[in-house]
Amino acid sequence: MTADTAPVTETAPAKINLCLHVTGQRADGYHRLDSLVCFTGLGDRVTVRPAKGLSLRITGPFAAGLSAEDNLVLRAARLFGSDRGAAITLDKVLPVASGIGGGSADAAATLRALSRLWGLPRPDDVLSLGADVPVCLSPELQRMQGVGEVLTPLGPAPMLDMLLVNPGVTLATPRVFAGLARRDNAPLGPDMPDPFDTAAWIGWLAEQRNDLEAPALKLAPEIGTVLAALRAQDGCLLARMSGSGATCFALFADDAARDAAGAALRAQYPGWWVAETDEAPV
């Protein structure tokens, strides 16, 4: 296989909103956010190969029910405006519509992969693909503001042990936002400690919020069960819902505590999706 025909693979890591404050709403309906975003060692995979036209094949445990016809991955590919082709494979290992940026991360991985395959710069107008796509282009810890276009890189995230849990519920993001009691909440608190000062940083995170958690709980009370179960596990330092739900995350003191919690939750709730990972892509 020559370099010209070699496939290119990019990982689409799960995006975790460690905190998410809704600070306003624009006249066009888009919400202003203030969020701290990190990425994990767990994610989907996008592989692209040279081809005459654009095509998408979806594999993996969460491929069922996803359409390849109008998938965000193909929209990302078309954003290049190129007449070049690619056969794209999306290996879907993250739950769909679950608050961890799966579709947006897939689109961002497609942009990175095709940029490498075709030798073209990434398109500028990635925000047109969705508010979460710009933040997913880089695996750094980032502060995301505005409607997703104002990004402040904060450097690498600490390699903290994390457990992701979804109760098997899908939530439509617009429905969650529609249930907000107010849209002019306070932004993130000032003076965020160094993320590598683990105790101080997690203490600061605990003082922040996910403003979408309350409306999501009304739509899917199972989220409350997940959060209570995570917080009851030995070694849990912080548990919170990510994004618009229903996936929740928990940070643990070490990998042994995380793994024990994962095993316990799988045994007690066999219908839940439970995944161990790190709070940093690998």
Cis peptide before 51 (omega within 30 of 0): no
pLDDT cut 70: percent of the chain above it = 98
Q: What are the extents of the domains in the chain? A: 8-151, 157-278
Average pLDDT estimate for 131-136: 95
Report d(CA 180, CA 215) in Å as an integer. Answer: 6
* The predicted structure's pLDDT at residue 2: 44
Res 4: pLDDT: 56
Tokens found for residue 271? 């219908």
**Rounded average pLDDT over 69-87:** 94
Model pTM score = 0.94
16-20, 102-106, 222-226: the lowest-pLDDT one = 102-106
Residue type, 267: A
**What letter represents residue 138's amino acid?**
S
Averaged pLDDT, 193-208 = 96
Instruction: State the amino acid at position 44 in one-letter form.
Output: D
In whole angstroms, what is the distance from residue 14 CA to residue 164 CA? 10
pLDDT of residue 1: 41
Among 132, 161, 211, 278, the active-site one is: 132
Q: Which CATH architecture has domain 157-278?
A: 2-Layer Sandwich (3.30)
**Cα pseudo-dihedral 103, 107, 109, 110, rounded to 10:** 140
Cα 215 to Cα 39, 182, 210, distances in angstroms: 24, 11, 10
Res 130: pLDDT: 92
Q: Residue 154 pLDDT > 90, yes or no?
A: yes
- Whether the predicted pLDDT of 281 surpasses 80: no
| 30 burial level (CB within 10 Å; 0-12, 13-18, 19+) | middle
Which residues 6+ apart lie within 8 Å of 87 measured at CB?
Answer: 48, 49, 50, 51, 55, 57
Residue 242: its pLDDT value, please? 98
| pLDDT at residue 97, rounded to an integer | 87
Q: Is 132 a catalytic residue?
A: yes
157-278: same fold as 8-151? no
pLDDT value at position 206? 97
Q: Does residue 61 register a pLDDT over 50?
A: yes
Overall average pLDDT of the 150-174 stretch: 94
pLDDT for 3 equals 47
CA distance 150 to 155: 16
Fold for the domain defined by 8-151: Ribosomal Protein S5; domain 2 (3.30.230)
Average of per-residue pLDDT values in the chain: 94
Q: What is the mean pLDDT of residues 234-257?
A: 97
DSSP H or E segment with residue 37: strand 31-51
Q: Is 15 a catalytic residue?
A: yes
